[in-house]
Copies of this chain bind each other. A is one copy, B any other.
Amino acid sequence: MKIAAIGGGVIGGGWIARFILAGHDVAVFDPHPEARRIVSEVMANAGDAWQRLYQAPLPSPGTISWAASIAEAVSGADYIQESVPERLDLKHRIIVEIEAAASPQAILASSTSGFKPSELREGATHPERILVAHPFNPVYLLPVVEVVGGGDAAQRASALLESVGMKPVQIAREIDAHIGDRLLEAVWREALWLIKDGIATTQEIDDIIRYGFGLRWAQMGLFETYRIAGGEAGMRHFLSQFGPALKWPWTKLMDVPDLDDELVDRIAAQSDLQSGAHSVRELERIRDTNLIGIFHALKANDWGVGKTVSTMENRFYAREGKKVTGYPLRLHEAHVTGGWLDYNGHMTEFRYLQVLGDATDAFLIHMGLDAEYRAGGHSAYTVETHIRHLAEVRGGTRLIVETRLLGYDEKRLRLHHAILDDRGETVATGEHMLLHVDTGANRTVAMPAALMRALEAIIAQDRAPHPDHAGIGIRAVRLKEASA
């Protein structure tokens, strides 16, 4: 699938980064002299963010090519994302150029935050394939995209966008500014009045959001939150209780404040006071790190945006699933992310055991002791672990684990993992004894024949001598001990 991007600013760059990281080739046209710099900066941020976001091995990235014209960029493209400035005449002119060179089946999606598909389609040769696909910044991390326009093109676009880790929301009826920006505008207008009237500062408004309802909205949005507020009686009760308040004069939204010099000065000064200690580049990095943390937190709870991340990871893992060859077994990789570092700037001690434990899980799945088998009431529990820390691991490192089966009997497994960094150096080893258990009865039981056959096949490959340190305890000679 070939993708074309017309316009390579912050939004266009975010689209390009997302497509390329998901493995698609992208042809870009943007005559702006700074376009390559902006896109390459966004791509650097996005690449770093994806490494940290996804624990699964990422696909090989696609390639970016810079086209000399719109015609060159869109020729042969299956999907074209337009992200040029918000002027309808400009968008019309570009659509004419795109249609002259693109396949009639190609989807033409606009990042416009304000215009409706019917406006974009005026005068088009193939209007039905022109859509709105409106994302939110940063496009490479925030999943939501408003898909407006309907029909087969909207279905196909949504499938593509979903496959690159997004959450397409198809909007049934077109409306100025779609949905998200209307909600944002409503808040923005109210906030401007609060500043203009001297009720609150930008810092105070932001704090009320981020220490308050923003924390609810990151997970549930507006209606599901209010459903809870209605208590056992639910949404209907909430509406009957809070409906009347809507009639109260709690707004000045009948009018829009003039963004005169005085108001602009006031907002800019308050914003400097609030956020000026960080450059915008720093704020971007902080934002992305926070987003990744929130994504991981919701993934642990299998909720909201966390499910989107899991879906992508499962896809990445599934594609990797067939690749196990050679011995020692290479079944598990891990990326060392910012949250994994300690105060020394090294991977925190317990993350070593996380990597070793994940490698053990990968071995168990490999031998057939997978989720389906576990659902039948049996599992394997680690009872003993010996870790040797051999080298420090810094952030951004990709670790790979080499696993050996040192021995087994009907009830026991003895595994050895070596964790290698991206230069092939062994940074730690783990030796582990596991017991096969009946989880209901909570006692050790013999493994079935199928698992024993799998172990027999694996251990037949384990031809090298055992490592010298295997079976050896912590040696503590010549230490001062208590004079008991």
Contact = CB atoms under 8 A, between A and B. Distances in A.
24 contacts: A179-B204, A182-B194, A183-B213, A187-B187, A210-B218, A210-B220, A214-B218, A216-B287, A219-B286, A223-B274, A234-B268, A234-B280, A235-B271, A290-B303, A300-B339, A348-B357, A349-B385, A386-B387, A386-B473, A406-B481, A414-B476, A431-B474, A432-B474, A463-B482
Contact of A381 (B199, B351, B389, B412): B389
Interface in A163-184: 167, 169, 171-173, 175-177, 179-184
A268 B253 contact: no
A143 interface: yes
Number of copies: 2
B180 A213 contact: yes
Given A220-B287, A225-B287, 4 more contacts: A206-B224, A223-B270, A223-B271, A350-B350
Interface in A197-228: 197-200, 202-225, 227-228
List 10 tightest A-B contacts by C-beta distance, closest first.
Answer: A206-B221, A293-B297, A407-B479, A214-B217, A144-B212, A218-B218, A350-B354, A144-B211, A209-B221, A202-B223
B144 A208 contact: yes
* Tier of interface size on chain A: 35 or more
A449 interface: no
A426 interface: no
A305 B210 contact: yes
Given A253-B254, A474-B386, A294 B218 contact: yes
A44 interface: no
Given A228-B280, A249-B176, A171 B463 contact: no
Contacts of A146: 208
Q: Which of A167, A204, A482 counts the most chain B CB atoms within 10 A?
A: A482
Interface string A228-256: 11111011100110010111111101101
A411 to B, nearest CB: 10
Interface in A443-484: 459-466, 470-476, 478-482, 484
Interface string A274-310: 1100001101101101110111111011011100100
Contacts of A50: none
B349 A352 contact: no
Contacts of A249: 176
A427 to B, nearest CB: 12
A229 B136 CA distance: 10
A248 B176 contact: yes
A223 B146 CA distance: 23
Contacts of A155: none
A219 B185 contact: no
